[in-house]
Amino acid sequence: MKKLDWYILKKFLRVFFFSIFLFAVISVVVDVSEKTDDFVKSGLSAGEIFTHYYIGFIPHIIALLFPLFVFIAVIFFTSKMAGQTEIVAILASGTTYNRWLRPYWIGGALLGLLLWVSNQWIVPKANNIRGSFEAAFVDKHSTYNALLTTSTDIYFRIDSFTYAGIYGYDTSNNRGNGFFSYKVAKGKVIHNLRAENIIWDTATKAWRLTEVIERKVMDNKEVVTYTTELKKKYPFKPVDIKKDKYTKDKLTTLQLINQIKIEELRGSEGLNELKIERYRRDATPITVLLLTLIGAIIAGRKLRGGSGSHLALGFVIAALFIITDRFSTIFSTKGNLPPLLAAWIPNLIFIWVVYYLYKKAPK
């Protein structure tokens, strides 16, 4: 690390952290204005609202727009350097173009690593705090959300051969009014179970079934048994069957991988959303590095329009990136595009953008 590296790197990090801090403050102010009624209805103090909600909201919003603000920071300070003819002086001193880009590589890699670590553990835990608060105090006040969740019947697959359903499931008490399961082999039902009630026993970590009727088919014979109460250790828990729109955001990467395996076994719908989230956590840090290089190459050239022209071009590229990302996600969740490819398509495209801009840049 030479003086040139430290000079550019300090400018890079200073502008980035200042802009992200300013944006976080603005986001909190806007969010407070939107959720004032919900905060009043919650009955919590200002300190409790911060510890139960904003300590999770702030990391979430920062991680969401982290790549974009890296891009803006690079364009802003690099354009200013170009406007003051600093970059011309650096290159005229004998410094090669690749050598000038070195601190941008270092800064982009450091911030990408920071985002990667945050995506694996910190942001999911923050989303757990934020999601729990919104589910308890915000979503329940939404009439639109209430219309979407009037049905309490749940159907799912326990394993590759066993299907199940719960009627009238109460997520707050972890119990249902009716439960059924049936196992299929060679196209025929070989086991059927029905229970009047299914209740989660927190002491034994098992499901308690009442008024149970079991039917087993063996050698063309049917055996029927009746039990008033039965405890079963099924491979699903209350947390697995709750309808929570924040689930994929709350899970750490290891938990998300395990959840994907469970959902694959059950044949659940929306599996691609979980997979995209898993792959995007690794793809986004690379996005940070790519946008850093794009911003440096674009803003490193002195233009008549100054920073305004650089920022305008930067926002166009950022918008194209976001559109590409959204389209690839939709094609995966609603179509047949593989989730791994959907998560990495924007990066694969913008690698070529970096290469093209680099070749065209005056050196």
State pLDDT tens for residues 303-318.
665 566 767 777 787 7
Question: In Å, how far are 79, 177, 310, 344 from 73, measured between CA atoms?
Answer: 10, 56, 12, 24
Q: What is the pLDDT of residue 100?
A: 92
Q: Residues 222, 295: one domain?
A: no
Local confidence band at 108 (pLDDT 50, 70, 90 cut-offs)? very high
How remote is the C-alpha of 189 from its chain's centroid?
39
Q: Where do we find the tokens 């079991």?
A: 214
| pLDDT at residue 116 is higher than 60 | yes
For residue 138, give the amino acid letter: V
Residue 254 lies in a domain: no
Among 250, 11, 20, 4, which Cα is nearest to 114's?
20
Q: Residues 8, 136: one domain?
A: yes
Question: In Å, how far are 92, 119, 264, 287 from 272, measured between CA atoms?
Answer: 51, 18, 10, 21
275 HSE (CA, 13 A, CB side): 19
| pLDDT at residue 353 is higher than 60 | yes
* Residues 70-81, mean pLDDT to the nearest whole number: 90
Among 286, 299, 232, which Cα is nearest to 74's?
299
* Residues 97-103, mean pLDDT to the nearest whole number: 92
Question: E strands within the chain?
Answer: 154-157, 162-167, 175-176, 178-185, 188-201, 206-218, 221-232
Residue 255 lies in a domain: no
Residue 259 lies in a domain: no
Residue 324 lies in a domain: yes
Identify the domain containing residue 178 by its residue range. Answer: 152-241
Residue 147 lies in a domain: no
CB within 8 A of 35, min separation 6: which ones? 138
Going by their DSSP bridges, the two strands 178-185 and 162-167 should be labelled as: antiparallel
Q: Residues 87, 226: one domain?
A: no
Q: Residues 227, 179: one domain?
A: yes
Residue 9 lies in a domain: yes
Residue 258 lies in a domain: no
Q: What is the pLDDT of residue 325?
A: 82
Dihedrals φ, ψ of 131, to 5°?
Answer: -65, -40
Q: Residues 28, 174: one domain?
A: no
* Residues 199-213, mean pLDDT to the nearest whole number: 91
Question: In Å, how far are 16, 38, 75, 114, 232 from 122, measured between CA atoms?
Answer: 20, 26, 28, 10, 35
Among 174, 147, 177, which Cα is nearest to 165's?
177
Q: Residues 99, 120: one domain?
A: yes
Tell me which of 28-32, 64-68, 137-141 is least confident: 137-141
Q: What pLDDT digit, counting tens, does each position of 250-306 carry? A: 889 998 898 888 777 766 667 888 899 999 999 999 999 999 999 999 888 776 655
Q: Residues 296, 343: one domain?
A: yes
Residue 316 lies in a domain: yes
Contact 168, 177 (CB under 8 A): yes
CA 208/CA 231 separation, integer angstroms: 5
Q: Residues 73, 175: one domain?
A: no
CA 299/CA 201 separation, integer angstroms: 61
CA 136/CA 129 separation, integer angstroms: 11
Local confidence band at 147 (pLDDT 50, 70, 90 cut-offs)? very low
Q: Residues 178, 38: one domain?
A: no
Q: Residues 184, 214: one domain?
A: yes
CA 340/CA 329 separation, integer angstroms: 10
The total domain count for the chain is: 2
Higher pLDDT, 247 or 178: 178
